[in-house]
Structures are given as C-alpha cells and as structure tokens.
Structure 1
Amino acid sequence: MSLTPEQQNLKQRFDAELGPAAFDETWSRMLKHAPEMFTASLRLTGVPKKKGYLSPKVQSLVHTRAALANGATKAEIVETLCLTSTLGIHAGTTGIPILCEVLEEQGKGIPKGLEGMNKGQLALKEDFEKKRGYWNTMWEEFLRLSPEFFDAYTEFSSVPWVNEGGKGVLEPKVKELIYCAFDTAATHMYQPGLKLHMRNVLNYGGTAEEIMEVLELASLLSISTMDVGLEVLDKELAKQSF
C-alpha cells in the first residue's frame, strides 16, 4: 500500500522495535485504517519484547511463523500445539465441582479426598503424578466420577511430557508458562488452572518476571479485534466500490 509520510514514520518505528519480518497484512491494515491505534498497539506489543525475560523463541512459540524465524524447531512447535490441546479438559474441571455441589444439595454427595478410593483409582493417581510431575486436589472428584476418562486424559495430556526420550523437547518451565498463557487468555480465564500452573512455573525455577511477561503477551490477544474487524471492513468497502 502507498504510505503517507506519517504512516512511513510509523512503519519505520515498527521495523526498529519489532523487526520488519513481524509486519504482516494485519499490521498493514491497521496502519492504513487506524494509525493512532497502530501506534498504541505497537507500544503495547513492544513492552514484553523489550523486557526480554523470555527469549524471542519462547515468546513466539504460539505464532508458528515468528517461532520458526526465532529459531524454534518443528518438534518444539508441535509440542506447543500438544500442550495447548489440553485446554478442553476445563469443561470437566469447571463442570465437575458444580456437579458435586448439585449432588451435595440433593443429598447425593460423593466422598472428599482420597478416602475410599479403590486400588485402581489410586494407581491412576500415581500414574498421573509420574507422567505430569504434580498432583492437585481438583483432580480427585474427576477421578472418582470417571476413572476411565481420567485415565485416557492422563495419556492424552502426557504426550508432550513423555515423548522424545521421556521428557519432551521444551523445558518443564516453558511448558507450564504455555499453560499459563492459555489459562489467562481473555477467551478462557480459567483461574484454578492458572494458579496451579503459576505455582508449577515457580517450582521449576521460573520467576515472577517471566510469568508477568506471559500475562503481558496474553493481553495482546485483544489486538485481534482489530485484525478481524478491519479485514471485514476492507471486504465491505471493496464491495461498495463496484
């Protein structure tokens, strides 16, 4: 597109702060239609980039093109996708506590904790701890109500933790930071999981600064409103020109 002097200055600032390779069609569209929002979005995006507590590769793992450009391998990107594929389990971890409340209200409550679990259920708990490296009491109700599904989920969620020679290709801290990213995202906001994975990050040697940087990166999801909306606007304006 043809840039005005003001837009050219903004493009040069973008290249200096985020790199020319980061300038894609969505940024170009925003620069064209909303230069003020482009400026504000550039500043917002640049904050975690400048801090750099996380490497550029780790910062960009959820963006395939950028991740490859920053040195990520195919295996690391695939493992990131495997990690984010576990997000759907929160249908259970959100719904099961509510189900248990309803059962309690109707006098049909289930036992608390590990008391009364059979050997098979306790073996599934041990298998989860071995493969995932932690345990949380939120899994106990799940294990009681559906041990078969819990067993299948353990295998499903453990793939990025036990492949490639038994440990995966991303370090445990990075895996937990990825969990934090999707738990805190505006489309999800799963607080119990977020707290759990923040704790795991710290237990694996991570820092508050690294977690904060993930929260900043996840906040950038809101810019996608402009990405999606301006593309629709362009298409509609094109129709009117005929």
Structure 2
Amino acid sequence: MPTNPDPIPTPTLDAMRRDGNWNPLWNTLSDWDPEWTEQFMAMNATPARRGVLTPEFVELLSIAIDAAAAHMYAPGVRRHIRMALELGVSREEILTVLQMVSVLGIHACNLGVPILEEELDAHERRQIAAPRTAP
C-alpha cells in the first residue's frame, strides 16, 4: 500500500485529542486513513459548530446518543455529562434524557413478547395434539 510522505493536516482530530474528546478506538482508523477520519469528524462536528443548537442541548443530545442501547459508549456518556454539568445543565434534565433514551430498549420486548406468546401458544397446541404415552 503506497504511503503519502507528506503528513495530512488534521486540525479537527488534533482538537479532539487536545480537548479530551478522542476515543482511542479511533486510533487505527486515524493512522490508516487520517484524511477520511479528519473529514468524517469535521462533518460530525458541523451541527454543533454552526451554533443552531445551544451547547447545553448538544451535550444532552450527545448523552442520549452515547447512552442509547444501540451505542452504550460509557466514556462518551461520562464526558458529555461532565460537560453538561459544567454548562449548568441540571441533574433533573440529564436524568430525564437518560430516562427517555432508556425507552429504546423496550423494542426488544415489543418484538420478543409477541413472538414468545405465539411460540407458547404453538407449543401448547403441540402438547395437546401429541399422543400421550403411559409411563
């Protein structure tokens, strides 16, 4: 694989590392393709950088994303809770976000319970239809 002798500037990645927002799981991706990783992280930071949403809301949204059942990234949850508190977000607001995002896990029951009910009914019908053998 050819390598580029000129280092690629990565100001977004450098800032993330400096500010403690770097996930070490990204190291290999950054090493292998720093240009793509820089572009991805810069794009990811665009909504917050634009200032359309308040910094407090961005932190609450980030808590929700990192705490979601499909992600569950504890270092991110910790970092964003810390930042939210520093911005003056209340414990109640953060707790409410965590409570709201916990609802995502209910989909396992929404999917699984009806299937369980169907399979239990089918199992009972098979038990009733099966000839009983004497002991």
Q: Please indicate the TM-score interval, normalised by the length of the shorter structure.
A: 0.5 to 0.7
5+ residue gaps, structure 1? 1-117
The equivalent of 2:20 in structure 1 is: 136
**2:105 is matched with which residue?**
222
Match in the other structure for 1:46: none
1-side partners of 2:21 and 2:95: how far apart?
A: 26
CA-based RMSD of the aligned residues comes to 3.3
Distance, in Å, in 2 between the alignment partners of 1:144 and 1:222 is: 32
8 Å Cα contact 2:12-2:42 kept in structure 1 = no
Identity of aligned residues (%): 29
TM-score, normalised with respect to structure 1:
0.37
Shift of 1:137: 6.0
Local SS of the residue matching 1:223: helix
Choose which of 68, 71, 77 in structure 2 pairs with 1:185.
68
Superposed, which structure 2 residues align to 1:35-184 within 5 Å?
120-121=9-10, 123-125=11-13, 128=15, 135-136=19-20, 138=22, 142=27, 145=31, 146-162=33-49, 166-168=50-52, 170-184=53-67
Q: Counterpart of 2:44 in structure 1: which amino acid?
A: S
- Are the structure 2 counterparts of residues 138 and 230 from structure 1 closer, same or farther at C-alpha, using a change threshold of 3 Å? same
| TM-score normalised to structure 2 length | 0.60
CA drift at 1:138: 2.9
Flag the structure with more relative contact order, 1 or 2, with Cα contacts below 8 A and sequence separation at least 6. Answer: 1
CA distance in 2, matches of 1:144, 1:185: 25
Per-residue Cα deviation, 1:61-102 (whole angstroms, up to 9, x for no partner): xxxxxxxxxxxxxxxxxxxxxxxxxxxxxxxxxxxxxxxxxx
Letter in 1 for 2:74: Q
Aligned residue identity for 1:120: P
| Count of matched residue pairs | 110
User: SS of the residue aligned with 1:120?
Assistant: coil
Which of the pair has more CA radius of gyration?
A: 2
Confirm whether residue 200 of structure 1 aligns to residue 83 of structure 2: yes
Residue 218 of structure 1 aligns to a residue whose secondary structure is helix
What's the CA shift string for 1:122-169, capped at 9, x where partnerless?
Answer: x4456x56xxxx82163587396242133112332123224xxx312x
Alpha-carbon spacing, 1:186–1:173, altered in 2? closer, same or farther (3 Å): same
Determine the C-alpha separation between the residues in 2 that align with 1:158 and 1:185.
Answer: 19
Counterpart CA distance in 2 for 1:125 and 1:198 is 21
Q: Deviations over 1:160-184 (max 9, x none)?
A: 224xxx312x222112111111212
Distance 1:225 1:177 in 2: 24
5+ residue gaps, structure 2, are 1-6, 126-135
After superposition, the Cα gap between the structure-2 partners of 1:233 and 1:188, relative to the gap in structure 1 and judged at 3 Å, is same
